[in-house]
Each structure stands twice: as structure tokens, then as C-alpha cells.
Amino acid sequence: MRALFVMLLLAVSLPVAARRGPDPGPLFAAQPGYERFVQGLADTLSLDRQQLDHLFRQVHIKPQILRAISLPAEARPWDQYRPLFFNEARIQGGVAFWEGHADALARARETYGVPEAVIVAILGVETQYGRNMGGWRVLDALTTLAVAYPPRADYFRRELTEFLLFTREQGVDALTVKGSYAGAMGLGQFMPSSCRKYGVDFDGDGHADLWRNPVDAIGSVAHYLQAFGWQPGGRVVVPVEVAGEATRELANTGWSTRKTVAEWRRLGVNQATPLPEDEQAMLVRLDTTSGPEFWLAFQNYYVITRYNRSFQYALAVYQLASAIAASRFTACGADPC
């Protein structure tokens, strides 16, 4: 497998000869380790080896995906990351999406306890309400990352396995499914394991369609957040000032190091918003080009990070949700929304 990785790195770094059309990337079947890899999948999935071989002989390794995953948007400073997702187009798009699917969003809130604005904001950040669901073949993306991205190869191999199971269960040709460079799919950009575990048939037509059916996507996003512990009516995040370098070093250490508001106050974390002394929170630091920002983040913020592990992502979703809700309220005026 290491020989395969080295060969792929060379494919990324060496210049490619001029050719017509985009470079499809090397065929996976021509790489060292191919036979062992496919046999391992056949054993894991109890599938016919020849069928898998026929499928994977059409898979290409994508150097472009390796480049993309090494330069994620989350690597940018917060003040450069935020405008990618918090902008007028996504706010107004969210208002329009909410108005077009108000009944389904209200039912999702009643069923799962997740506010409409949060569901809408996640769909806005992920795919601009279905406008951009990704153009990569998911089978190419997951295979590339499973065999040529050592930092998370085990994770992507598991997702590749889940994808093959998902397409078999859905009766879908695995070669036709498109998604992000990381293999995320549909309006909500679920990974294959999440499609299988959290995807719901929210309109009752007998099929959970996360690509073409916004109602199913709405229910699935809400179901996902509920499953990870969303607290109806719970707080998300508040800005704070932090005194003391030792306390600042506690930032971004995760939910496992959460403390009560009273404990954070004793450590020099102060906020203008009145908070219950016993409410638990983690300290988050977001770096900007002009210096760090600090936030106390609560259970629902942590839940959003289960959708995407980036602290920046979670705050972008929250701020977009707040702006969409405020804009919709203003647009509705005295009339029912």
C-alpha cells in the first residue's frame, strides 16, 4: 500500500502532458495493491469478487482530490472563512427556501426539536439549498482517499464500504452517484454512513431521497442533530473576553474539557450575556487576521460540530441561521410567516 501511495504522490507532483479534456487520473486497477484491496472489500462485504473487480476497474484515482483535501476552507482565518457562507445570497436564499418548505420545516422542529433556521442554515452552508451538491464521482473520491490519504485512510475505507452497501440497498449504480471531493452526498452532504443511519423518508413516499427531495433532506438533517443531542431551546454560543494566557490555552480542547459558566468566570472568562452559573460550556478560539476571538460554546454548538468538526463551521451555521430568521421575520412583518 505504501508503494501505491508513493506512486500517487508522484502523479500529483509531476507535470502532466498536454491532452484534450480534463485528466481523468490513473486507473485504480493499474496501481500496486489493487488486487489485495478489492479482495479485502469482497471479504468484508460478502460480495462477489468478480462484480467488485468489474466495478473498481472503472475507478480513477484523483490527484485533484488529494490537493483539495490538503487545502480545506477551514484552514483559512475566521474573517476569511466566514464570508464564504455568511453572505446576502445565502441569507436571502435561506428565506426563500424556508418560505417554500415552511410546513416540512415546522414538522421537523416539532418532531426532532431542531429550529427551522438551523436546518435551513446547514443546507445553505453545505449546498446553497441544493444548488451545488458536488460533481465528483463518489466512488472515485472515496477510493482515492481510502488508498492515498494516510491521515484518514481508515475512515474513508469505512465510508467506501458504507457507500457500497448504501448503493446496493438503494438499487443505485455506484458509478453514477456524484458528491463532494470527500464523498459527501445530497442536499445535506451526508457521508454514506450518515445516509444509511440518519436518512429519513420524511414525506412518507417510501423512499428517503436526499438528492431530489428537500422534505427528506430537511427531516434527515433534523434527525441527525437530534441523534447527537440537540437541546430544544438551548443556547448555542456567546462572545466572551478572556484574561490570562493559561486560560486561553484551554480553548479548542473540546467538549470533554467543558466547565460551568461559574468555573469559566473564575478562570477569567467574562461575557456580557447573563448566563446560568451551572450551565456547561467549552471555550472556543477563532483566529482572525487581526487577532483571536473567544466564545463560550454550549451543547448545541457541540452538536453542530458533529455535522462538521470545524469550530468555524459551527459558528458560521449559527450566524447564518440567526440572520435568516431575522430577515424572514422582517420580511413577514405583521403577517403570519
Q: Is the pLDDT of residue 20 over 70?
A: no
Q: Is the pLDDT of residue 11 over 50?
A: no
Per-residue model confidence as pLDDT tens digits over 149-166 = 999 999 999 999 999 999
Per-residue model confidence as pLDDT tens digits over 169-205 = 999 999 999 999 999 999 999 999 999 999 999 999 9
Identify the band that residue 331 occupies on the pLDDT scale cut at 50, 70 and 90: low
To the question of pTM greater than 0.95 for the whole model, the response is no
How confident is the model at residue 266, as a pLDDT? 96
279 and 152 within one domain = no
How confident is the model at residue 293, as a pLDDT? 97
32 and 147 within one domain = yes
Instruction: State the virtual CA torsion across 285, 65, 183, 158 in degrees, nearest 10.
Output: -90
262 and 159 within one domain = no
Residue 88 lies in a domain: no
**Enclosing domain of residue 33:** 2-61+138-170
Look at the chain and report how many structural domains it folds into: 2
20 and 162 within one domain = yes
Domain boundary, last residue among 125, 154, 170? 170
Residue 104 lies in a domain: no
32 and 151 within one domain = yes
Across the chain, mean pLDDT equals 91
Residue 334 lies in a domain: no
Q: Is the pLDDT of residue 59 over 50?
A: yes
CATH number of the domain where residue 40 is located: 1.10.8.350
147 and 53 within one domain = yes
143 and 47 within one domain = yes
Catalytic site positions: 126
Per-residue model confidence as pLDDT tens digits over 218-240 = 999 999 999 999 999 999 999 99
Per-residue model confidence as pLDDT tens digits over 261-296 = 999 999 999 999 899 999 999 999 999 999 999 999
Residue 12 lies in a domain: yes
Residue 290 lies in a domain: yes
Residue 224 lies in a domain: no
Residue 337 lies in a domain: no
How confident is the model at residue 72, as a pLDDT? 84
Residue 95 lies in a domain: no
157 and 10 within one domain = yes
